[in-house]
Structure 1
């Protein structure tokens, strides 16, 4: 029996971008808050999609399924997924549907097994496919229209809620040995802004939702950091960078907003002055050392990743850099990245950065295109295969950082002039090589006579 539809979930740590392959269903995803939220204002608890009904966003308490980039609270995640699969959102019957879901980069094996158990044992999906967001980008339109073939070599920068990853992709497969991770994401930037504002103006340490709105409304990436910093120091209350953000008043049902020129304010309005905070917070992505994080910035991580790839194709990666993830939406992000990459790239190569119309949903749209591809059924694991082999069936089909991608290995060997490995269905022999040393049953290496 073929599945009636395919549910697509870009299961991010902050929001779940979800949809389904159906003629009657819009291609634009539904954005669901991936959390169980408790509001102190109206004393109500909102699970996932129910958060749209919240009207008092002061002092919200979040129970997040993800912690440090990995899915660890499965009870909270199941509550969110139950709402997504229900008639209120996707309206699907899991036993008659297939599922395409994204997972974190470098996901742990034990967590992958729990993914498999939830999909097949808890929800009883007909079949499913699990992949990282960057691995789906070749199926999308980030590097061109849908009619043109994706480039052979591309480098995807995924800056999300927990981390920023630099992911090189060759011939449709991730080169895991060259993937770089920067421990800076949207959550860290919001917390950084909360600390700065709480120290300088209002105590906003409990107002995560409000400060996230302020970050998305006011912050930008500076092309000339020193110039903007000097401008803010010259006159902290009158300079072109300063913005006045009127904090929300939920008792009067008024949302927060940037004060317009000449706009009158009430005595009850609370003003948040956004000065150098506007650009110093996103600057952390380019200079993590500002917060004593001993890592190279994003431009350096990109250059380091490309340097680990074969020399004869490095130029192709420099010219095919794509940006996805919510942090890349900051104004000036692409211009600043291009400026710094140009100084790091070899003088004889071109540097080109591709941006999506909506970097937040780009991975979802690529996943939806892959789900509609005629080759998609050959990549999934069915419930029958799982019942027969368990998670081993998923490990065989879903290539990740632990499984050796033979196609990429052979390509790299060919580029480096090495003989490719021979394909063989036989298990490697455990017999010791000639002249090698064996281990005894205790696993301790027998010692031979010492040489003087």
Structure 2
């Protein structure tokens, strides 16, 4: 058996590498077409792009499910042939899929992996389950290596946010909760607000996503921050000016230091820079995660959904779940995200429970790291039991995958 490829196949980003490496390669899970050069950039080729205005994205995922296999095949070809330079026939594959994945899509996964790429063996699971193979106790300052009986993974990614409780390493299916809010919705919402208030940027997904990542934060006091936003510019500690790239002199936007505003105005706006003023948008966009009803999504916010998930488990598990909450996914990178969830939970959870919320240093790579640890700590016989061999698939079809991998 050759190497083991760990592929965390996210709807926005692919985290992939062989198990021998310490960190994954992070690659856009998209084919991106440039406006000026009319070139298609597949996955990591987007690094060669010099003009990110009005990019056209072709995504394999739609509403959180892998539906466009032609696009995904092209991206995987690029990953296996050029990025990893690995031979699938001599490798085993550990791959993630979405929670509540549809049966026909699961069969398409198996067909693509075993028939198209001919991997020697495969294990397909959800990203939150891989997270539990990490040393979760270390995040809370507990004794390293101690494995908690219960853990609750909050995975807030591109398409959805999932709350997944685990008992002895297995997800509690009846208690999994999904919020239909992810990074894509937040970016689209910011595009609409900016286009309504300032410039028409409905086609500028890449730029607005950068603005979101650099300017937005999770407020600890929404009404207090809204009051600050009403103050004059010099007394407003929240407002920021984001300098948009022109793709001639600058290729990436940046937040302009506030004290330079008067100097910039006196120099004719520094050669007519295009400025995007970010005021209450900075915290009201991530606030959708906490209150989806603000934009008409009739679902619970993050803290409330966590309590619903815990309450759906057996009563004796509640205390352990509340004391082992791990935040992962791209939205975890918002400043103040962990603190806000902790504060909101402490107001909702009965006082006899100890609420502990932690996020790993690299929350977007945590599932990949868990997969690496799972392979490294498993014996050869354990891997043999977990992974489906290609000869088994050719004999029994996707039925053997359903039996070995299980379904939520």
Please state which band the TM-score falls in when normalised by the shorter chain. over 0.9
Is 2:29 aligned against 1:29?
Answer: no
In 2, Cα distance between equivalents of 1:346 and 1:50: 50
Q: Is the 8 A contact 1:15 1:32 kept in 2?
A: yes
SS in structure 2 of the partner of residue 228 of structure 1: helix
Is 2:9 aligned against 1:11?
Answer: yes
In 2, Cα distance between equivalents of 1:253 and 1:46: 21
- Output aligned runs, 1:185-200, within 5 Å: 185-200=182-197
SS in structure 2 of the partner of residue 190 of structure 1: helix
- Quote how far apart the aligned CAs of 1:136 are: 1.1
- Quote how far apart the aligned CAs of 1:149 are: 2.9
Alignment correspondent of 1:442: none
Query: Which one has a bigger Cα radius of gyration?
Result: 1
Higher relative CO (CA 8 A, sep ≥ 6), structure 1 or 2?
2
- Output aligned runs, 1:162-201, within 5 Å: 162-201=159-198
- Output aligned runs, 1:401-440, within 5 Å: 401=408
Note the residue ranges of structure 2 that are not aligned, 5 or more in a row. none
In 2, Cα distance between equivalents of 1:221 and 1:242: 14
- Output aligned runs, 1:9-158, within 5 Å: 9-22=7-20, 26-86=21-81, 88-144=82-138, 148-158=145-155
- Output aligned runs, 1:294-305, within 5 Å: 294-305=298-309
Alignment correspondent of 2:339: 335
Counterpart of 1:313 (choices 301, 310, 317) is 317
In 1, Cα distance between equivalents of 2:128 and 2:406: 13
In 1, Cα distance between equivalents of 2:251 and 2:97: 37
Q: 1:150-186, CA deviations, whole angstroms, 9 ceiling, x for partnerless residues?
A: 2100110000000000000000000010000000000
Alignment correspondent of 2:405: 398
Counterpart of 2:227 (choices 226, 230, 233) is 230
Q: 1:249-272, CA deviations, whole angstroms, 9 ceiling, x for partnerless residues?
A: 112243201102444452231000
| Structure-2 change in CA distance of 1:69 and 1:122 (3 Å) | same
In 2, Cα distance between equivalents of 1:43 and 1:266: 31
Q: Is the 8 A contact 1:57 1:209 kept in 2?
A: yes
Alignment correspondent of 2:284: 280
Is 2:244 aligned against 1:250?
Answer: no
Is 2:361 aligned against 1:357?
Answer: yes
Alignment correspondent of 1:434: none
Greater displacement, 115-124 / 370-379: 370-379
Counterpart of 1:206 (choices 203, 207, 231) is 203
| Structure-2 change in CA distance of 1:52 and 1:142 (3 Å) | farther
Alignment correspondent of 1:378: 385
In 2, Cα distance between equivalents of 1:80 and 1:238: 49
Greater displacement, 358-367 / 63-72: 358-367
Q: 1:271-316, CA deviations, whole angstroms, 9 ceiling, x for partnerless residues?
A: 0000000000000000011101111111110001111111122111
SS in structure 1 of the partner of residue 50 of structure 2: coil
Q: Is the 8 A contact 1:41 1:57 kept in 2?
A: no
In 2, Cα distance between equivalents of 1:144 and 1:248: 41
Note the residue ranges of structure 1 that are not aligned, 5 or more in a row. 402-452
- Quote how far apart the aligned CAs of 1:371 are: 2.1
In 2, Cα distance between equivalents of 1:85 and 1:191: 31
In 1, Cα distance between equivalents of 2:200 and 2:137: 43
Q: Is the 8 A contact 1:142 1:354 kept in 2?
A: no
Q: Is the 8 A contact 2:230 2:236 kept in 1?
A: no
Q: Is the 8 A contact 1:142 1:355 kept in 2?
A: no
Q: 1:367-406, CA deviations, whole angstroms, 9 ceiling, x for partnerless residues?
A: 11112232333200000000110001101100221xxxxx
